[in-house]
Amino acid sequence: MEKISELQAVKSAIRRHFKAGMATNCVLNDRDLIREIEAGALYTEENEGALLILRDRGSHYILNYYVNSIPLPPLPETGLVCEITARGGENIRRDIVSALAELGFSEGKRRERLCRGAGEPEENERGDIEFSAAEPCDLGAIEELFCTSFDALTGCLTPERELSERIAAGEVFVARAGGEIAGAIETVSDKNFSSVRHLAVSEAFRGRGIGAGLVRAYLSATGGKRSFVWTEPAKAAAYKTYLKCGYLEDGNVSVVMTKGC
């Protein structure tokens, strides 16, 4: 693997494959690439037909591919995760799934994207749970909650620095019960829409509508912008929470592939 230390090096490589008509599972923008380079976490593997970008997450790497022809270059014998998305299940690139399988990947969970059209949410009822934007001092508790709620490998957990930036940007909300964090939602805002990255409710507080309260608090803070979330139908509680808040399936699906874990 080659460690990337300059933005232009990786952009030149992407440009080479783009010109040849590439397929990709993730378009990293300059800001994302710079953040990974500054964290010393960006690596590549490349051959004539493909550029593989690996983002180091300590225990594993997240794999993004830019492929114009198969076979793919060899990959390190370590934990790897790759998510392949498409509009509609039949459009998932089976050739790339097969190429990854040949490199030792196996198919794991499937996710669906849900969309909620623009519109203000219902107001949260006043009660013993308080919903508000997270404070910088909540970072540790939020990280711990997400770490216990999501798989370290496939949960796409946000690195601490990035999560801290999102808290500072007012994109993370918490539910407080007394002095305790009962739940948290991490989101990302774009121009006219926003996306949910992680939603978790502490085990002791589940079944009290806190998940829906967090979603409503976040939607309200965005002024009711259109919202997206990738979620697993298998996670029934979260899935139902989103449906209850007005989200609907929008036809985008993904399959998560892992290797060496």
Partner 1 sequence: MEKLIGILKSVCPGVDFENEKALCDDGIINSLDIVLIVSELMDAYGVEIDIDDLVPENFNTAESILALVEKAQG
Binding residues for partner 1, rule: CB under 8 A, are: 11, 14-15, 18-19, 21-27, 29, 85, 87, 115, 190-193, 195, 226, 228, 251
Nearest approach, Cβ of residue 21 and partner 1 (Å): 5
Nearest approach, Cβ of residue 113 and partner 1 (Å): 10
Nearest approach, Cβ of residue 197 and partner 1 (Å): 15
Query: What is the DSSP-derived secondary structure letter of residue 176?
Result: E
Residue 174 Cα distances to 103, 156, 217, 226, 235, angstroms: 41, 19, 9, 21, 21
Nearest approach, Cβ of residue 142 and partner 1 (Å): 25
Contact between 157 and 150 (Cβ < 8 Å): yes
Smaller CB separation from partner 1, 192 or 236: 192
Nearest approach, Cβ of residue 18 and partner 1 (Å): 5
**Which tokens belong to 120?**
């203000």
Measured CA to CA, the distance from residue 48 to residue 53 in angstroms comes to 14
Smaller CB separation from partner 1, 48 or 250: 250
Helix 7-19 and helix 30-38, axial crossing angle in degrees, nearest 10: 140
Smaller CB separation from partner 1, 22 or 185: 22
Contact between 12 and 56 (Cβ < 8 Å): no
Nearest approach, Cβ of residue 191 and partner 1 (Å): 4
Smaller CB separation from partner 1, 29 or 207: 29
Q: Is 125 exposed, middle or buried (0-12, 13-18, 19+ CB in 10 A)?
A: exposed
Measured CA to CA, the distance from residue 154 to residue 134 in angstroms comes to 24
Locate all alpha helices (DSSP H) within the chain, ordered by sequence: 7-19, 30-38, 94-102, 139-149, 160-168, 210-221, 236-244
Smaller CB separation from partner 1, 90 or 128: 90
Smaller CB separation from partner 1, 120 or 190: 190
